[in-house]
């Protein structure tokens, strides 16, 4: 069982990205992802953070990455674990789970 808390940051916006029509909103993706991770890795701590790319708050690293999402026309929401982009536009649970397992998380 993993006891190290990993921070998962989801960068998104209220408005859907132009290429992401018919996909859930960033907030919906955030809630879905948080629930899916909690189910897959029960009783293993993790921290979820949502950063609005148009009104970023938090440390300079998060604010700068939010600007990068806009400047590089990345498909959002963008999911980042330990500074590694693990999902963009329509994040895949399999990819996110695999990254968490690299950090010691064990699926139940």
Write the pLDDT tens digit of every residue in 44-102: 999 999 999 999 998 999 999 999 999 999 989 999 999 999 999 889 999 999 999 99
pLDDT value of residue 6? 96
* pLDDT number for residue 2: 60
pLDDT band at 23 (very low <50, low <70, confident <90, very high): confident
Residue 21, SS3 per DSSP: coil
């Amino acid at each position: 069982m993993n006891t190290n808390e990993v921070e998962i940051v989801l960068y998104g916006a209220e408005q859907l990205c132009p290429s992401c029509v018919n996909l859930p909103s960033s907030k919906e993706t955030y809630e879905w992802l948080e629930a899916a991770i909690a189910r897959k890795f029960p009783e293993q701590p993790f921290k979820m953070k949502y950063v609005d790319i148009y009104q970023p708050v938090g440390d300079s690293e998060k604010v700068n990455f939010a600007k990068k999402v806009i400047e590089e026309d990345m498909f959002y929401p963008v999911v980042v674990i330990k500074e590694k982009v693990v999902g963009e536009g329509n994040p895949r649970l399999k990819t996110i789970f695999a990254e968490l397992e690299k950090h010691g998380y064990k699926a139940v």
